[in-house]
């Protein structure tokens, strides 16, 4: 089971994929058969794996059309948190490579994969390199009002580096 955020224009639905345990595996085989193993790796630098986002998208579109009809944006859970904090729909290349939709070599969404999958690129967040600032926390999120100075929102790998650096510099010398 995996959670994804399917957003329409007015609401967001945190959706747990249900159905047969092997549903993602079936969709992986379907994607591989439709694209071809060699071509899929050329386009995304990855084989179709059950943990990737694209097989789950194919599953929802096929088995839950009432949900798919309302989708206006596809975000990973932590990218949805960023969206709520900053209003920015963003994803870093490391996470995007785990969707099976990223052209890893060129660091952008793979147009051939999107075409084969009948997906509009507008559904997907903008792709950023991991250390890039992807947005600023909105003033309405910050409370109380004296915290209204917006601050940058960094990608997870950049945050981990900052935390490690701060932790290392706060340790006593040996």
Question: Rounded mean pLDDT of 11-16?
Answer: 48
Task: Look up residue 151 and give its two tokens.
Answer: 């601050």
Question: Rounded mean pLDDT of 10-26?
Answer: 58
* Residue that wins the pLDDT comparison between 162 and 108: 108
List the CATH number of the domain containing 37. Answer: 3.30.420.40
Burial class of residue 59 in the structure, from the number of CB atoms within 10 Å of its CB (0-12 exposed, 13-18 middle, 19+ buried): buried
Work out how many domains the chain is built from and give that number: 1
Question: Rounded mean pLDDT of 56-83?
Answer: 92
Task: Label residue 85 by pLDDT band (50, 70, 90).
Answer: confident
Residue 107 is part of which domain span?
A: 3-170
DSSP bridge pairs for 46: none
CA 131-137-142 angle, to 5 degrees, is 145
Q: How far apart (Å, rounded) are the C-alpha atoms in residues 82 and 75?
A: 10
pTM for the whole structure: 0.72
Q: How far apart (Å, rounded) are the C-alpha atoms in residues 156 and 78?
A: 9
Task: Label residue 24 by pLDDT band (50, 70, 90).
Answer: confident
Task: Label residue 158 by pLDDT band (50, 70, 90).
Answer: low
Asked if the model's pLDDT at residue 75 lies above 60, the reply is yes
* Residue that wins the pLDDT comparison between 13 and 57: 57
pLDDT value, residue 62 = 92
Question: Rounded mean pLDDT of 93-108?
Answer: 96
3-class DSSP assignment, residue 77: helix
Asked if the model's pLDDT at residue 6 lies above 70, the reply is no
Give the residue ranges of DSSP H helices in the chain.
23-35, 37-44, 53-63, 65-68, 77-86, 93-96, 111-116, 156-170
Nearest to 72 by CA among 5, 139, 126: 5
Burial class of residue 142 in the structure, from the number of CB atoms within 10 Å of its CB (0-12 exposed, 13-18 middle, 19+ buried): middle
Give, in order, the Cα–Cα distances in Å from 126 to each of 64, 67, 95, 109, 147. Answer: 26, 23, 12, 9, 28
Answer for the pair 116, 173: CB distance below 8 angstroms, yes or no: no
Task: Label residue 2 by pLDDT band (50, 70, 90).
Answer: very low
């Amino acid at each position: 089971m995996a959670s994804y955020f399917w957003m329409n224009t007015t609401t967001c639905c945190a959706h747990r994929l249900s159905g047969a345990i092997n549903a993602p595996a079936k969709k992986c085989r379907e994607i591989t058969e439709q694209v071809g193993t060699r071509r899929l790796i050329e386009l995304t630098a990855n084989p179709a794996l059950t943990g990737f986002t694209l097989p789950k998208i194919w599953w929802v579109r096929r088995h839950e059309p009432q949900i798919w009809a309302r989708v206006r944006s596809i975000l990973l859970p932590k990218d949805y948190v960023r969206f709520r904090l900053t209003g920015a729909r963003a994803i870093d290349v490391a996470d995007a490579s785990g969707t099976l939709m990223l052209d890893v070599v060129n660091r952008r969404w793979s147009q051939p994969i999107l075409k084969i999958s009948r997906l509009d690129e507008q559904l997907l967040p903008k792709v950023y390199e991991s250390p890039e600032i992807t947005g600023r926390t909105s003033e309405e999120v910050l409370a109380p009002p004296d915290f209204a100075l917006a601050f940058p929102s960094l990608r997870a790998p950049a945050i981990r580096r900052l935390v490690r650096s701060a932790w290392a510099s706060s340790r006593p010398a040996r």
